Amino acid sequence: MPTRTGEQSMGKLSHGIKEFLAEERLAYVATSSREGVPNVVPKGSLGVLDDDHLVFADLYSQKTRRNIEENPHVSVAVVNPAAYEGYQFKGTAQIVDSGPALERAIENVASIQVDPAKVKYAVVITVEEVYDLAPGPTSGKRIA
Ligand SMILES: Cc1cc2nc3c(=O)[nH]c(=O)nc-3n(C[C@H](O)[C@H](O)[C@H](O)COP(=O)(O)O)c2cc1C
């Protein structure tokens, strides 16, 4: 199973993982309430902001948004089921309403047929840990 470990960047996201994320935009974003109640949703606008940050357009979040305000810890899974390739990212999320992250989120929705004018907020995820999800010997191993 493929694991894009080798090629390092300056941050947590290797060149190989950034390439993967450019191809696979659909992410499953898990948040948790203050009491620890989990909530997982798909986000089709996820992309790379820079070597340490992911971003998605926050258009419809209800529980996701509430949870991030209560508890910034998030976990994100992005997979290519056909290739049995996937990665899990853990970090902290912040809701922003301006700047390069919002601009990137607006670019990301262009590919999913959403009116860019509707994007008023973006969620920026500071990636602290990266895990391989591919089935096999590297499954669940921390790679960054
Ligand atoms: C394929 C797919 C892609 C989605 N992409 C986004 C997205 O990029 N941004 C967003 O805010 N909501 C997106 N949604 C909606 C969220 O998955 C979800 O409905 C929303 O966050 C409300 O759920 P919550 O209250 O649990 O947060 C998408 C839904 C689907 C089915």
Longest C-alpha distance within the chain, in Å?
45
SS3 85: strand
- pLDDT truncated to tens, each residue of the chain (144 aa)? 456 765 667 899 999 999 999 999 899 999 999 999 999 999 999 999 999 999 999 999 999 999 999 999 999 999 999 999 999 999 999 999 999 999 999 999 987 788 899 999 999 999 999 999 999 999 999 999
111 lines ligand 1 (CB under 6 A): no
CA of 40 to the centre of ligand 1 (A): 10
CA of 45 to the centre of ligand 1 (A): 9
Q: Which DSSP state fits 125? A: E
Q: What is the DSSP string of 17-79?
A: HHHHHHH---EEEEEE-TT--EEEEEETT-EEEETTEEEEEESS-SHHHHHHHH--EEEEEEE
Report, at the CATH architecture level, how domain 15-130 is classified: Roll (2.30)
Map out the domains of the chain as residue ranges.
15-130
| Nearest atom (ligand 1) to Cα of 56 | 8
